[in-house]
């Protein structure tokens, strides 16, 4: 599922979110089924939205590899909700961990860069699984923490999520959580709670890309040192 090019201005998802939040009742908060990719990305989102919703986190990420990495991220998420001050209780549903699902959708797209077609198919798959579960849970709203990352396309996430949610008869909560300093606050909360903060998205291909980038940065630094030494 690829994003289509458009000359239309990008919607103001933060404003759309605030309009929904203004309508919630703190004495009888609606339910939110929230897809979570990791604790750092969830930290600010939970601190923000727990004032307005009763939240169920859905940890469904078959893209994460190896399994030890998956379990580490899940454990950090579980630890976070026990330590983070939350206005309303938050629970976690752990989705099935079947990496083969990711490898099947990524076949032929292994060399795609982050935010490319492989990432779009991966995100669409996780969103659909989340929305299916939200329907079963009879949640009032559904969304994902993914938009907090500056590496993720909020337009694709929201247009894809909204279309799938409409198909299943669930209300999509529009959001771009990186806005209004959300991403920076997630970094601050990660430091405060000493959260494990990975340096790659999750899949083996993003890890390989990150390792290649680090190797290139190292080689460039080495080259600059050599040039500086020769210039003395």
pLDDT band at 5 (very low <50, low <70, confident <90, very high): very low
Q: Does the pLDDT value for residue 213 go beyond 70? A: no
Task: Using alpha carbons, list the distances in angstroms from residue 115 to 51, 119, 148, 169.
Answer: 31, 5, 14, 27
pLDDT band at 214 (very low <50, low <70, confident <90, very high): low
Q: What is the dihedral of CA 111, 113, 115, 116, to 10 degrees?
A: -40
- In the three-class reduction of DSSP (H, G, I as helix; E, B as strand; rest coil), residue 35 is classed as strand
CATH class for the domain made up of 13-202: alpha beta
pLDDT band at 65 (very low <50, low <70, confident <90, very high): very high
Residue-wise pLDDT for 137-188, tens only, equals 999 999 999 999 998 999 999 999 999 999 999 999 999 999 999 999 999 9
- pLDDT, position 212: 66
Secondary structure letter of residue 110 according to DSSP: T
pTM of the model: 0.88
Q: Please give the mean pLDDT across all residues of the chain.
A: 91
C-alpha span between 60 and 102 (Å, rounded): 11
The residue that leads in pLDDT, 8 or 85, is: 85
């Amino acid at each position: 599922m690829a994003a289509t090019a458009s000359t239309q201005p990008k919607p103001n998802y933060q404003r759309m979110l605030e309009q929904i939040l203004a309508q919630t009742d703190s004495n009888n908060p609606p339910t939110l089924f929230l897809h979570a990719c990791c604790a750092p990305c969830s930290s600010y989102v939970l601190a923000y939205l727990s004032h307005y919703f009763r939240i169920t986190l859905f940890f469904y990420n078959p893209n994460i590899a190896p399994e030890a990495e998956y379990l580490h991220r899940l454990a950090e998420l579980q630890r976070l909700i026990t330590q983070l001050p939350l206005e309303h209780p938050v629970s976690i549903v752990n989705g099935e961990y079947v990496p083969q699902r990711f490898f099947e959708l990524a076949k032929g797209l292994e060399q795609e860069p982050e935010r490319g077609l492989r990432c779009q198919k991966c995100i669409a798959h996780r969103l659909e699984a989340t929305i299916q579960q939200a329907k079963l849970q009879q949640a009032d709203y559904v969304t994902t923490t993914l938009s907090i990352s500056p590496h993720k396309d909020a337009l694709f996430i929201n247009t894809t999520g909204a279309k799938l949610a409409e198909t299943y008869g669930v209300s999509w909560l529009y959001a771009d959580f990186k806005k209004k300093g959300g991403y920076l606050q997630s970094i601050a909360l990660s430091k405060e709670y000493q959260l494990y903060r990975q340096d790659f998205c999750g899949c083996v291909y993003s890890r390989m890309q990150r390792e290649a980038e680090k190797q290139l940065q190292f080689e460039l630094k080495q080259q600059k040192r050599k040039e500086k030494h020769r210039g003395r």
